[in-house]
A and B are shown apart, each in its own frame.
Chain A
Amino acid sequence: MNRPRRVAVTAPPETGVRSRPVPARPVPETVLERDRAAHARRVRHAQLRRAAITLACGALLLLGLPVLLHGVPGLAAWRLGWLPLGWMLVAWLPYPLLALLAWWHLRRAERAERPDDRPGEDPAPAP
């Protein structure tokens, strides 16, 4: 992999990094143009929707499993191979599922901000 390049950041300068005084309020250097602001609003909305879906799945999994174990206490005694099924549901099952969920979300989140996925709208900026 290529060495990642440094990119411009948008926050006002940190105190202490340079010795000049910082204004008490961070006045944005440039106000967002209307197009970019509209685009940013769309991206934020799309990301928020994807985040909500992913987190709902995660919450259903993690808050639902205890309900299952509480409702069916027999699971903790029912042996499947070496260990009781109830223990495996806690000790092993959540990790691959969480990793899958993370991978799925990452792909969708990156697609949401890829410029060519916005059909008919502002074309991709020149490189």
Chain B
Amino acid sequence: MTGAVVVALLLITVLIGARGVAAMRTTSDFLVASRRTSPMLNAAAVSGEYLSAASFLGVAGLVIKEGTGALWYPVGFTAGYLLMLTLVAAPMRRSGALTVPGFAEARLGSRSLRRFCAVVVVVIGVLYLVPQIVAAGQLLTLVSGVDYWVGVVVSGLAVGITLALGGMRAATYVQAFQFALKLLLFAGPAIWLLLLAGPSLRADMAAPPEFTHFTQQTPVDFRLDTDLVVTEPTVVAVDGVPVELAPGPHHARGDQVWLFPEGAAVPELGGDRASLPVPGGDQWALPLLGTGEAAPLIATWSVLVATALGTMGLPHVIVRFHTSPDGRGARRTAAITVALLGSFYLFTVVYGLLGTVLTPELHLSQTTDTAIVTLPARITDGSTAAVLTALLTAGAFAAFLATSLGLLLALSGALAHDLMPSGLRRLRLTALAVSAAVVPAALLMVRVDVSAAVTSAFTVAASTFCPLLVLGLWWRGLTARGAYAGMVTGLTCSVGAMGLGTALPLGGTAGMLLTQPALWSVPLAFLMMIAVSLGDHVPSWAEDTMLRLHLADRE
């Protein structure tokens, strides 16, 4: 049943994509749907594209893992469009450039800067696209029992073929359709599950019991190598073989299933995950990110800054505003998007709390990414559960498809349009080639943490394109050399810090600032850009080029 729903969804996606083929003639058609999309349709498409796996599944999973503070992620995702509305949408659309690298060249007059921007697009795109495909593969594995590689290949191919056939005109309809679908498939089951839950479960949701003992015999399916600290002697069946664990640290391999008996004490997480809050505990219930020694205020602000500013710099989102007919339309699109995204995220908390009450053991294995689709079977059984699971799976799959389409488009655009200028034919082939290249990467990175990888894409975008766009659109003094210096600083600081943070688990505030560098890397990139530009010669045409972006349309 679930399989049939996913196949139907894939078919509809490809069909809607094919509908766009007939009307497409030029690169402009392919990349920006010939700039004729109305604000409402475009806002639905922007939201449809933006609501990825991280929104549909990841955030609810993060509530189990990191506590109610994880609810700040979608707030930041939505706030990003307020920034887009106020600072980027209208002047960016009026610049008339097709892509962010194109904008950089038009505004600052440097071919090499354009190529560098294209490289940054590729970095952000890959950081974002690979986890999408990974999550799609895991989801298909979970619900239909096919091998992981089948799921990855199927989703990669579907996205590549749709895009190669239809381009952005197809993508606009696909995305708008998918937003409606996702909202329906997210809100509907949330309300349905709440009604099914019954008064005692609903009371538990408002105050989840602390996860200290297993209330029933519970299998924990580890996907990543995990350090555990056992607090009392426990007999655990490891892959079916009973093992007696003495109190103290133990190591679970990434491919093992541990079966804990009813009533056993829940082991604590060790290693770099020791700081994660216990589901239902006091730290978990405080709606701030980061715990104990890792200053919660700074951690929360850091995530807010990364997600809000990162949204502005995501190349696949920016290109969407070019499908509006003019600057005014682009601005309206951004404003409507804030409302659409908000209405979607209102339901996140329902899944987060249900997941914490019903599947707290995912806290141990850290496999919270697919928690949502396992919920219906815990609340009810029989056909109702099957229907709900199928609906949620379809919604999650729609999320993967929509985001991947946009990312693939931005990636192909950067490769075929900016790095090696070419026509429509090459662009189509690039779309296929990129999707083919991403599939092996997704196969290799099966153990990547989806939410973490997505946040890192936001951080890189916030540290590079955000200062470029804000200063480029509003300050005449920005020069190509300044933009270069700032973006190189932002790129190396964000990627370097996150790499370092993963390599050496420091813990505490220092470790948090390494794994979540946005709070310092974004201001640093801004400062660098301004400082180098001030010491540079501003060309005479710079002010006119910048001012044109602020003249109302049709004047």
Contact = CB atoms under 8 A, between A and B. Distances in A.
A60 interface: no
A-side interface size class: 35 or more
A48 B205 CA distance: 44
A36 B228 CA distance: 68
Given A69-B287, A76-B287, A83-B206, A40 B97 contact: no
A26 B106 contact: yes
Interface in B246-265: none
A4 B544 contact: no
Given A4-B36, A76-B285, A43 B551 contact: yes
Contacts of B71: 87, 90-91
Given A4-B326, A7-B554, A102 B27 contact: no
A90 B300 CA distance: 12
Interface string A80-104: 0011101101111011101101110
B545 interface: yes
Interface in A46-78: 47-48, 50-51, 54-55, 58, 62-63, 66-67, 69-70, 73, 76-77
A16 interface: yes
Contacts of B106: 11-12, 26
B345 interface: yes
B548 A32 contact: yes
A6 B93 CA distance: 12
Contacts of A69: 286-288
Interface stretch (B2-10, B44-52, B330-338): B330-338
Contacts of B245: none
Nearest to A103: B335
Secondary structure dominating the interface of A: helix
Interface stretch (B72-80, B128-136, B144-152): B72-80
Contact of A14 (B98, B205, B288, B554): B98
Contacts of B346: 91-92, 95
Contact of A27 (B328, B541, B548): B541
B547 A37 contact: yes
Interface residues of B, number: 85
Contacts of A94: 75, 78-79, 342
Interface in A9-49: 9-12, 14-17, 24-28, 31-32, 36-37, 39-41, 43-44, 47-48
Nearest to B338: A102
Nearest to A25: B109
Contacts of A114: 552
Nearest to A53: B86
A37 B331 CA distance: 22
B234 to A, nearest CB: 31
Contact of B349 (A4, A36, A91, A98): A91
B547 A32 contact: yes
Contacts of B543: 37
Nearest to B298: A66
Interface in B105-120: 105-106, 109, 111
Contacts of B546: 44
B65 interface: no
B421 A16 contact: yes
Contacts of B27: 14, 16-17
Contacts of B75: 62, 90, 94-95
B201 interface: no
Nearest to B63: A91
A105 to B, nearest CB: 6
A106 B331 contact: yes
Contacts of A3: 36, 38
Given A6-B36, A102-B81, 7 more contacts: A3-B36, A24-B111, A28-B548, A55-B83, A62-B304, A105-B86, A113-B552
21 contacts: A24-B109, A26-B109, A31-B541, A37-B543, A55-B87, A62-B75, A66-B300, A70-B296, A86-B287, A87-B287, A87-B349, A90-B71, A90-B72, A90-B75, A94-B342, A95-B343, A101-B338, A102-B81, A106-B331, A109-B331, A115-B555
